[in-house]
Amino acid sequence: MAGISWNYVFKFIITGDAAVGKSSLLVRLTDQRFLANPDPTLGVEFGSKLLTIPEENKVIKLQCWDTAGTESFRSITRSYYRGAAGCLLVYDVTSRKSFVNARSWLADVREHADPHLTCILVGNKVDLCDSESSSDRRQVPMEEAELFAKEEGLLFVESSAKSGENVEKAFEDAARDILSKIRRGVFDDDRVSSPGVKLSKPSNVALDPGAGSKPSCCNS
């Protein structure tokens, strides 16, 4: 129902262990607020946001599917991987286990998703870390995560859904990467081959008389 126009629609998924803050990241992105005690996500939840990438002069509509981290939903959430252009692989910097499990989530992504998918590793909850004080709860050193990301060819950022630090950056970095892939022709620009990327072209005019200003969303 929005009347704002955009150049691309990117489908994102957010995945990772339970309780690492996936839903909070999404709510922070879409609503600019912190979800203090969210209920565990059941299945998936949808949220969206317009991003502007100034240096490319592009407006991007991010459609994010926030998936459940609970094991019982894993088979359901897998159905979403294939259709995504970007993936936020989230772990909790105060939980070693969630970082270790990130490997298995990544394996899942690699198995089911499009090979051109852009994946960013996000270490959430940095607000709980304070290297100067004794109450530092960090269990995953930044260097270690950075190295892991480099080895696996992932982007990397540490963020906090609570303070908002780096949340938008995480999504933006991923979106920039996808844009550069488009520019380099990883996706054939005329016929975008990734199911998660949709060009806004005034096609399918029959349905949408306002298509000139409002891009249609049908698969190009």
Partner 1 sequence: MEFLSQTYVALRGPTGAPQTAAEIVGKLIDRLSPATLLADRRAAVLALKGLSRDHKQDVGERALPGLLQVLYNDAEVDPDIGKATLETLTMLCDVEEERDLGFKNTDAILENEQALHALMALLADNNFYTRFATLQFLSILLQNRRQRVQSYFLTAPSGSRSIIAVLEDKREIIRNEAIAVVKSLITQSADIQKVLAFEGAFEKLFNMVTQEGGVDGGAVTEEALICLDSFLRFNSSNQTYFRETGLPSSLLSLLLFPPNMSMQELGPQEFALQFWDDQKLANASAVVGIIGLLVGSKGAQEQPAYIRCLIEMALASNAPTVLKTKALTSLPSNLNFPMSDFILTPYMPVPETNGEEWDRLEAATALDALVELALHGEYNGMDAHKRLSGGLMMRAAAVSVFENFVRKEERKQAFIQRLVPHVGSELLPNPLIQSLVMIPNSDTPLDPVMVASTHFASLLFSHLLRNSPRCKSLARSIKPQPATGSDTGNFFVPADTTAPQAPIPAETLAEDDEPPQTLCQIMTENLSLSLLARSRANNSDREAREWDRLIVAYLCLLSQWLWEEPGAVRDFLDAGGLGILVEPVNYASEGDLVVPGLCLFLLGICYEFNREPGEITRNTTYPILNRLGVDTLIGRMSRLREDERFKAVSPEISVLPFNTTPVSHLQKPEEQEGEIWFDWAFVDFWKSTYYTVQRGLSTEPDQLASASSGQTTELTMLVSSLREVIRTQSGEIESLNAQLKQTLSSNDQLATLQKDIAKLTIELQESEEKRKETDREHEDLLVLVDELSGKHAQDKARMREAGLDVSEDEGEDGDDDE
Q: Between the CA of residue 119 and those of 31, 37, 52, 123, what are the distances in Å? A: 23, 27, 19, 13
Query: If binding is defined by CB under 8 A, does position 209 make contact with partner 1?
Result: yes
State the minimum distance, in angstroms, from the CB of residue 25 to partner 1: 16
Rule CB under 8 A: choose which of 56, 203, 214, 220 binds partner 1. Answer: 214
Residues 6+ apart with CB under 8 A from 44: 65, 66, 67, 68, 76, 77, 80
- The neighbour count for residue 111, using CB atoms within 10 Å, is 9
Binding segment for partner 1 among 37-45, 95-103, 161-169, 171-179 (CB under 8 A)?
37-45
CB of 152 to partner 1, least distance (A): 23
Going residue by residue from 160 to 199, which x/- string records binding to partner 1, judged by CB under 8 A?
A: ----------------------------------------
- Asked whether position 2 contacts partner 1 by CB under 8 A, the answer is yes
Please tell me the distance from the alpha carbon of residue 198 to that of residue 219, in angstroms, as a whole number: 6
Q: How far apart are CA 69 and CA 101, in angstroms?
A: 11
Q: What are phi and psi of 27, to 5 degrees?
A: -65, -35
Contact 82, 195 (CB under 8 A): yes
The smaller minimum CB distance to partner 1, of residues 1 and 36, is found at: 1
Which one among 7, 34, 45, 152 touches partner 1, defined by CB under 8 A? 45
Q: Which of 32, 33, 40, 43 binds partner 1 (CB under 8 A)?
A: 43
Beta strands in the chain (DSSP E): 8-16, 44-53, 58-67, 86-92, 118-124, 155-158, 197-199
Q: Are 17 and 140 in contact (CB under 8 A)?
A: no
Asked whether position 52 contacts partner 1 by CB under 8 A, the answer is no
Distance from C-alpha of 175 to C-alpha of 171, rounded to nearest angstrom: 6
Q: Does 219 bind partner 1 (CB under 8 A)?
A: yes
Query: Between 58 and 97, how does the x/- string for binding to partner 1 read (CB under 8 A)?
Result: ---x-x-x---------xx--xx-xx--------------
- Smaller CB separation from partner 1, 140 or 175: 175
Q: Shortest Cβ distance from residue 19 to partner 1 (Å)?
A: 20
Positions in the binding site for partner 1 (CB under 8 A): 1-3, 11, 42-48, 61, 63, 65, 75-76, 79-80, 82-83, 204, 206-210, 214-219
